[in-house]
Amino acid sequence: MAKQRSNSGTNRGQRPPAELAGLPVNKNDVVMLEIIGMTHEGEGVGRVEGFTLFVQGALPGEKVRAKVLKTKKQYGYAKLLELVEASSDRIGPPCPIYDQCGGCQLQHMDYAAQLRWKRQLVVDNLERIGKLKVAPVETADAGITVRPTLGMAEPWRYRNKAQVPIGVTEGGLVGGFYARGSHRIIDMETCLIQHEHNDAVVAAVKDIGRQLGITAYNEETGRGLLRHVVVKKAFRTGEMMLVLVTNGRDIPHKDAWIGSIREQLPDVVSICQNVNTQRTNVIFGDDTKVLWGREVIYDYIGDVQFAISARSFYQVNPVQTEVLYSKTVEYAGLTGRETVIDAYCGIGTISLFLAQHAGQVYGVEIVREAIEDARANAVLNGMNNVEFEVGASEDVIPKWKEQGITPDVIVVDPPRKGCDPRLLETILQMQPERVVYVSCNPSTLARDLRVLEDGGYKTVEVTPVDMFPHTVHVETVVSLQRQNT
């Protein structure tokens, strides 16, 4: 790989810091790179004389000219200047602001290639972090079977929730997504991974806000009213909820605003206000009230109905959520008699899906409001074979054991940081016949699988699920079986 020094932009009289001396490249150098891989954040990986450079927008198999932006001891970052040889997986991103917006990372990659890459990302983590042997082909004889990623027939317009930060320019209110790596808002009229109706609601709210002279929140000064516009769309029922996140309780021209929204957006059946006066980038504050309409909207996953409130967590891709949960039920091996524990149950989405096929389900979640929603959703569906409790899984599950509850299956769906070590210890003590691990982070998944394997479980099969097409995120469902030792 030839290295080409740039004649411009380099300060010849300035030496690099002592700890960076001897590196094969310096800042502002222009280099030729062959891209040999891609990071979990979607950056192309190339090397110059053994030194690794990460290049945003480059794909494996490409040859590129790139300008070095920053160097550290072991690696650096470079900007793509020219595609010398393009990958056959490269396509033109259809989104007009893709290069500016940080919401998607893989629109320049063919969708089939995205699915292959996500499977390989899971495999690499299982082998490198989990020290697990993955079968080269789909046969359990030579190791763990990792299935092809389950993708979408139509991988666009799949998101049922928009959370749009609001800012201001000379032309008035703007709202969109943050530019990649910054808090600068890129104004957006349409997002190709959002449901079209979400786009329409956000655009109408911005337009009405401009007409009424509504101010936008300023992160630097802490002044201004409107911080975020949050829209939720129920795919099955068509109902919509609008949440205005405000920096204070008083909304100027509130009645006129609500009246215009109701007139222009007949699908909106709930308009809520959330008050957040903290100097923080957290979206929601603690105080939520209904300005007009209902407190909840209703949607379905499969045959299970859910009530969704302003702050309820609900999976943002309902089509793939049903795929994910169906695979979870399959791996749980339920016949209608089993006792199941759902260790991170949230508002009960997986628990209620499992309860259709199990004898008894117990769900535990540390967030009290989520458990209240879970109980309400159980009543909504007339399900009497599911119980929910507030608390940390690693505290509640041992208490259940003392009460004589012995699960046949434990399902875990932890946050990105993975399972609490005490929960893994609890699972090994409870010794359920099967464990189903639903993960949103391949690296912490691999780490936790290693612990379970060392504790007497065998990882049988792994299925990646593409919940977020055109982004670097991948969900994974894993089947584990207790060994007879």
Given the structure tokens 């204070």, which residue do they identify?
248
Q: Class assignment of domain 161-301?
A: mainly beta
Integer Cα distance of 362 and 213 in angstroms: 50
Question: What is the CATH topology of the domain spanning 124-153+317-482?
Answer: Rossmann fold (3.40.50)
3-state secondary structure at position 184:
coil
Predicted pLDDT at 4: 42
- Per residue of the chain (485 residues), give pLDDT as tens: 444 444 333 343 455 554 556 789 999 999 999 999 999 999 999 999 999 999 999 999 999 999 999 999 999 999 999 999 999 999 999 999 898 888 899 999 999 999 999 999 999 999 999 999 999 865 656 789 999 999 999 999 999 999 999 988 766 788 888 877 777 888 888 999 999 999 999 999 999 999 999 999 988 889 999 999 999 999 999 999 999 999 999 999 999 999 999 999 999 999 999 999 999 889 999 999 999 999 999 999 999 999 999 998 899 999 999 999 999 999 999 999 999 999 999 999 999 999 999 999 999 999 999 999 999 999 999 999 999 999 999 999 999 999 999 999 999 999 999 999 999 999 999 999 999 999 999 999 999 999 999 999 999 999 999 999 999 999 999 999 999 75
Q: At what angle do helices 196-212 and 254-264 cross, to 10 degrees?
A: 150
Q: How far apart are CA 248 and CA 56, in angstroms?
A: 39
63-71 and 30-38 as β-strands: parallel, antiparallel, unpaired? antiparallel
H-assigned helices in 265-406:
318-332, 349-355, 368-380, 393-402
Active site residue ranges:
440
Which residues, in sequence order, are CB contacts of 343 under 8 Å at separation 6+? 364, 393, 397, 410, 411, 412, 413, 414, 419, 423
Is 51 exposed, middle or buried, given 0-12, 13-18 or 19+ CB atoms closer than 10 A? middle
User: Are 62 and 91 a contacting pair, CB within 8 Å?
Assistant: no
CATH class of the region 3-85: mainly beta
For the chain, the residue count is: 485
**CA 65 and chain centroid, separation:** 32
The rounded distance, in Å, linking the Cα atoms of 32 and 44 is 13
CA distance readout (Å), 23 to 11, 15, 29, 303, 447: 16, 12, 12, 59, 33
Q: Say yes or no: do domains 3-85 and 161-301 share a fold.
A: yes
- Domain map (residue ranges) of the chain: 3-85, 124-153+317-482, 161-301
Sequence-ordered alpha helix ranges (H) in 334-406: 349-355, 368-380, 393-402
Q: Which two tokens stand for residue 50?
A: 């053994």
Can you tell me which residue has the tokens 């609500």?
258
Structure-token pair, residue 207: 């337009």
